[in-house]
Amino acid sequence: MSDNDHNEGSSVAMAEALHKTQQAQAQLGLRVIEREGLPFAERSDEDLMLTHGEGSDDAFAELLRRHQRGVMNYIFRMVQNRHIAEELTQEVFLALVKNAERYQPTAKFTTYLYTIASNIVSKEWLRRKRRPKFFSMSSLFNRVKDEEFNALEHFEDEKADVLTSFQRGEVSEAVNEALRHLPEHQREVFVLRRFQDLSYEEIAEVTGVPVGTAKSRVVRAERALRPLLSKFREYL
């Protein structure tokens, strides 16, 4: 094959890849062409990520402002440890930085973001299973501090705004304690659906399961949690 044929083939391949990306964006209704003159606060997540990939720290700062709280809440409910949740949240956004130049908006940004978060949480669960279990004063101290930590209070949950501070803390404690009783795969889909407001299609993509499986896991989780949270049903 001549150099001209090779270059022509590469151009065709790039054009086809671009066309497929544009088709996917159109099907998902993503807004990504929002460059000139539009403030960062008014841009879509997908556009901000593309702009960050071009070197804009301000675009990343806006993504961080929008999503840090939600990611932190999600991870805290997964790992039930404040310090680990903070560290894993940092890992999620560091991964965004590392992958910024390769990012392509072929799905909603929240799907992309929570897929990264889910993978990081899964690695943490795997580390826990491999880690030898033994009693220590430091682990006991950390558990007490985590029980005092109120995720809904430190990272505001709009659904809890109607409560007083005492009620909010009571609900948060009850939810976090109830989540401990769920298998990991049910806990994850429940939190993604109930607290992060992801669609079943997004949850399926994040967790790598069929949509039907995601729905059934949410139903099973709700069924298991119902008797544990019956006192707080009007708030949840």
Output the tens digit of pLDDT for each of the chain's 236 residues: 554 454 444 444 444 544 444 454 444 444 444 455 788 998 999 999 999 999 999 999 999 999 999 999 999 999 989 999 999 999 999 999 999 999 998 889 999 999 999 999 999 988 877 654 443 334 434 444 454 444 444 444 444 444 444 455 677 788 888 898 899 999 999 999 988 999 999 999 999 999 999 999 999 999 999 888 887 766 55
Q: What is the pLDDT of residues 151-189, one digit of tens each?
A: 444 444 444 444 444 455 677 788 888 898 899 999 999
Helix residue ranges, H only, the chain: 3-28, 45-53, 57-79, 82-99, 109-130, 137-148, 151-154, 165-179, 184-194, 200-207, 211-225
Tell me the pLDDT of the chain averaged across its residues: 77
Query: Which CATH architecture does the domain made up of 150-236 adopt?
Result: Orthogonal Bundle (1.10)
Say if residue 17 is exposed, middle or buried (CB neighbours under 10 Å; 0-12, 13-18, 19+).
exposed
| CATH class of residue range 8-133 | mainly alpha
Task: Please choose, from the candidates 176, 181, 200, the residue with its C-alpha nearest in 3D space to the C-alpha of residue 189.
Answer: 200
pTM for this model (two decimals): 0.69
Q: Which residue do the tokens 């985590």 mark?
A: 146
Q: What is the pLDDT of residues 212-223, one digit of tens each?
A: 999 999 999 999
Q: Would you kindly state where each structural domain of the chain is located, as residue ranges?
A: 8-133, 150-236
- Contact by Cβ (8 Å): 154, 131: no
- Contact by Cβ (8 Å): 71, 45: no
